[in-house]
Structure 1
Amino acid sequence: MVLKSFVEVQPDSHFPIQNLPYGVFRPAPGSEPRPGVAIGEYVLDLSVVASAGLFDGPVLKNSDCFNQVNLNKFVGLGRPAWKEARVTLQKLLSATEPTLRDNPSLRQKALVPVVQVQMLLPVVIGDYTDFFASMHHAKNCGLIFRGPENPINPNWFHIPIAYHGRASSIVISGTDIIRPRGQGHPPGNSPPYFGPSRKLDFEMEMAAVVGPGNELGKPVDVNEAADHIFGLVLMNDWSARDIQAWEYVPLGPFLGKSFGTTISPWIVTLDALEPFASDAPKKNPPPLPYLAEKISKNYDISLQVSIKPAGEEDRCIVTRSNFKHLYWTITQQLAHHTINGCNLRPGDLLGTGTISGPEPESYGCLLELTWNGQKPLSLGGSTRKFLEDGDEVIFTGCCKGDGYLVGFGTCSGKILPSPS
């Protein structure tokens, strides 16, 4: 029997009772931020639910985690709290449960139309790491910049490669992105140019939100890593390719990445994604023991990127990919991150890196889709090598269940001109 909510949920909604993703919102301008879950076209205010004493399980009964202005305290409580909250919320919202359904005053207080709210970053992100976990993306970048002789460096098949990103410039979906300025890669032996980036790009990614952290010096076992991951968000790690190409040797990305990273407002939990688990790609060569998982899995999450060109009303779909294409799983990424003793904390963000599929129409960024500008992309009445001022980029992602979707909503941002 399919679980149904008393709240009306359209068949194409990303937020049925099977999902219940977590976010942080303001119900009205100037009001205090508070945690909520999405259900159909509404946000369920968890501070109201908690104040009514409806979280009565052993972990959450005496907790003030839903009276906070972010989700850090809740995600830090770990899987027992997450499971208890999910069971409680699915019961409260089910069509057969009268507690909320038949209490008009409580229902009106607890359920806020999503069109009225302002969504905020769901967690305070202390640290942000971005991986390079898609083999297809790694291969394409290698072909573009190094040629066919050695497109993927040998170490890539042994360790999940990553760089440490800039947490302060992570923004919520809908925030405009100002075109960055910096030094660009010079042609030949000429001096580098300085100015607005000429090769601004999107990167279709997802990111894991860390739950309980680990103590400094104590790595997380790869087979226990899922207990340290609360859920996933969509992520656009905007990239200035010309700035990055000039700066990344020998230490990697810096100004080409740190000007802005956009995430979607709703964190979809691993419990909600579990029905869509799929086998991860077979590793060749086999990973070292600390990365060898008993069960190595990804999730079947369909991903799509659209661009709404500057001055136009219609958006064009430019790529479709899937989370299941990742070579290194999110649990392997987390275990590798901590193997040297690095301590993760609740709310830390671990980006997957660009998620490209095997076919040209599934490449996850303009660098690949246009082959570094050599093959301009058609967007209806215009073409693009890279993003232009006024372009809006929209990510979506969802899993398809039996008569319902489990989705992430959208992750969007518009490019504004660089300041003069």
Structure 2
Amino acid sequence: MTPTWLDLPAGTGFGPDNLPYGVFSTEPDGPRRVGVAIGGHVLDVSRLDVPAADALATGSLNGLMSRGRTTWDALRARVQELLADPAHRAAVEPHLLPREDVMLHLPVEVADYVDFYSSQHHAENLGRMFRPDSEPLTPNWKHLPIGYHGRAGTVAVSGTPVIRPSGQRKAPADDAPTFGPSQRLDIEAEVGFVVGTPSELGRPVPLAAFPEHVFGVCLVNDWSARDIQSWEYVPLGPFLGKSFLTSVSPWVVPLAALEAARVAPDRDVPLLPYLDDTGHPWGLDLALEVRLNGELVSCPPFRLMYWTPAQQLAHTTANGASLRTGDLFASGTVSGPDRDQRGSFIELSWGGEEPLTLPDGSTRTFLEDGDVVTITATAPGPEGSRIALGEVTGRIEPAR
């Protein structure tokens, strides 16, 4: 583990091998600056002698992210140096702020938002529910990462209230659609990837260039109104059932912090050359946990994802589409083979047919007003340590 002169809490996931970036203020309407999470503190790196200091007082990570991998690595190395050498303690310590004393904000000005559908277990579960007389996976599923273009303007930071959306709904037995609040409000436990360095229009980004373009990783909850979605999604796909809110964690973990978490996915179908990641796989061994009202209900394993973020990025740009600083793309719901590894309530309750029983005896199929959902995740770090990805939380509020 990287040494430090700080007295860190035992087992913290926010040690010097992590150093995730976020945006904070000390007053609700005060100036926003870039900070680094370390233990129970936020380090105001904008006040220190570090590379790209001018980009750290701008209220978002976009300025830093646009500088590219050389700057990202130099800044990370400098912060680790400042926290390792006691000679820097007097200069650094005044800029360590207790995390409970600051407000965390959306860390990135989101340019575009793309969401994928890359967990085989999740896709097969939904296929068995919705197409019981057909193969659970569509013929294209193992040949390309399926995704859709979402709404960047409704990506919000953890803690933003989840207002129950209204829209058209039509149950199979109904004669005609009705309009009203969603009755099947759901979560999708996902992992997000934030683009730092843009790309040229018309020039695809190859798999090997993934770490040159992607700055870091966050957690995502892609809230979903399943009843609105099921009525609208044929033939073009998700729209209003998804676009009302997507929550992200306030901390963006640098890609460099996750080197020890890299794994090679298992696949059983040959891939076209632009998706063939033999020799440089970017699967990640992330352990997610989903809690409903404080109770653990699921532990989705990201290491089992069929498609990796590097493949998702390569496919996103395969037609020449360009990247912009601040682009966010998400993995899609993370699910495993066991019931307690499912990353959505539509799976946990099997479409509402098998209610989930909580420790207090209450049951859920989908989310009720007042429910609080929290998603956390950790990854392996150096020498047996753990890297924390923070958390993404949302409380359901009634429709307006």
Tell me which interval the TM-score lies in, with the shorter structure as reference length.
over 0.9
Tell whether the 8 Å contact from 1:75 to 1:82 is kept in structure 2 after alignment: yes
Q: Give the AA of the match of 1:150.
A: E
Q: Percent of aligned pairs with the same residue? A: 45
Structure 1 Cα separation of the partners of residues 353 and 306 of structure 2? 27
Q: Which residue of 359, 364, 389 corresponds with 2:343?
A: 364
Q: Which residue of 65, 68, 75 corresponds with 2:65?
A: 75
Equivalence for 1:98: 87
Structure 1 Cα separation of the partners of residues 343 and 303 of structure 2? 13
Tell whether the 8 Å contact from 2:32 to 2:57 is kept in structure 1 after alignment: no
Q: Which residue of 103, 128, 142 corresponds with 1:157?
A: 142
Q: Shift of the alpha carbon at 1:404?
A: 3.0
Q: Which residue of 103, 107, 123 corresponds with 2:93?
A: 107
Tell whether the 8 Å contact from 1:201 to 1:241 is kept in structure 2 after alignment: yes
Matches of residues 300-319 of structure 1 in structure 2 within 5 Å?
Answer: 300-308=285-293, 315-319=294-298
What is the DSSP-based 3-state SS (H/G/I as helix, E as strand, rest coil) of the residue aligned with 1:67?
Answer: coil
Normalization by structure 2: what TM-score?
A: 0.96
Structure 1 Cα separation of the partners of residues 397 and 57 of structure 2? 36
Tell whether the 8 Å contact from 2:124 to 2:136 is kept in structure 1 after alignment: yes
Q: Which range moved further: 368-377 or 146-155?
A: 146-155
Q: Shift of the alpha carbon at 1:277?
A: 1.2
CA deviations on 1:274-320 (whole Å, 9 max, x unpaired) are 012111222x3211111112322311111000000xxxxxx211100
Gaps of 5+ in 2: none
Q: How many residues align?
A: 397
Structure 2 Cα separation of the partners of residues 185 and 78 of structure 1? 48
Q: Give the AA of the match of 2:335.
A: S
Equivalence for 1:16: 15
Tell whether the 8 Å contact from 1:281 to 1:327 is kept in structure 2 after alignment: yes
Equivalence for 2:387: 406
Q: Give the AA of the match of 2:93.
A: R
Q: Shift of the alpha carbon at 1:189?
A: 5.5
Q: Which range moved further: 5-14 or 16-25?
A: 5-14
Q: Shift of the alpha carbon at 1:84?
A: 0.6
Check if 1:145 corresponds to 2:124. no
**Root mean square deviation of aligned Cα:** 1.3
Equivalence for 2:273: 289
Tell whether the 8 Å contact from 2:223 to 2:242 is kept in structure 1 after alignment: yes
Equivalence for 1:330: 309
Q: Shift of the alpha carbon at 1:141?
A: 0.6
Structure 2 Cα separation of the partners of residues 241 and 30 of structure 1? 36
Structure 1 Cα separation of the partners of residues 11 and 27 of structure 2? 27
Check if 1:187 corresponds to 2:168. no
Structure 2 Cα separation of the partners of residues 86 and 322 of structure 1? 28
Q: Which range moved further: 185-194 or 215-224?
A: 185-194
Equivalence for 1:236: 221
What is the DSSP-based 3-state SS (H/G/I as helix, E as strand, rest coil) of the residue aligned with 2:56?
Answer: helix
1:407 to 1:148, Cα distance in 2 relative to 1, 3 A: farther
Normalization by structure 1: what TM-score?
A: 0.92
Equivalence for 1:352: 331
1:325 to 1:148, Cα distance in 2 relative to 1, 3 A: farther
Equivalence for 1:311: none
Check if 1:4 corresponds to 2:22. no
Tell whether the 8 Å contact from 1:91 to 1:97 is kept in structure 2 after alignment: no
CA deviations on 1:172-229 (whole Å, 9 max, x unpaired) are 1111100000011332361012111010001000100011011111110112122111
Structure 2 Cα separation of the partners of residues 72 and 409 of structure 1? 20
Tell whether the 8 Å contact from 1:78 to 1:212 is kept in structure 2 after alignment: yes
Structure 1 Cα separation of the partners of residues 149 and 58 of structure 2? 28
Equivalence for 1:418: 399
